[in-house]
């Protein structure tokens, strides 16, 4: 299991749109860091609490 040690909720950057009454969303990804590259080559972009209002 992959967890974030310093937060209760992990916040991912993403885009959300409703088209034709149906919700669509994507999570924005970046290249994985060396520790997680053994699991997958991409890593979701995680936001800190101070980035939420800007995002």
Per the structure, the complete domain to which residue 35 belongs is given by 11-51
Residue 9's pLDDT is 80
Residue 3's pLDDT is 65
Averages of pLDDT over each 10 residues, the chain, 55 residues:
68 95 97 92 91 82
Q: Structurally, how many domains does the chain consist of?
A: 1
- Supply the DSSP string of 1-55, one letter for each residue: ----TT-SS-EE-EEEEEETTEEEEEE-EEEPPTTTTTT-SEEEPEE-GGGTTT-
The verdict on residue 1 lying in a domain is: no
Residue 44's pLDDT is 93
The verdict on residue 28 lying in a domain is: yes
The verdict on residue 3 lying in a domain is: no
The verdict on residue 4 lying in a domain is: no
The verdict on residue 27 lying in a domain is: yes
């Amino acid at each position: 299991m992959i967890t974030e040690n310093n937060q209760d909720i992990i916040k991912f950057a993403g885009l959300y749109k409703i088209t034709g009454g149906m919700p669509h969303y994507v999570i924005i990804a970046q290249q994985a860091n060396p520790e997680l590259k053994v699991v997958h080559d991409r890593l979701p972009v995680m936001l800190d609490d101070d980035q939420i209002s800007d995002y």
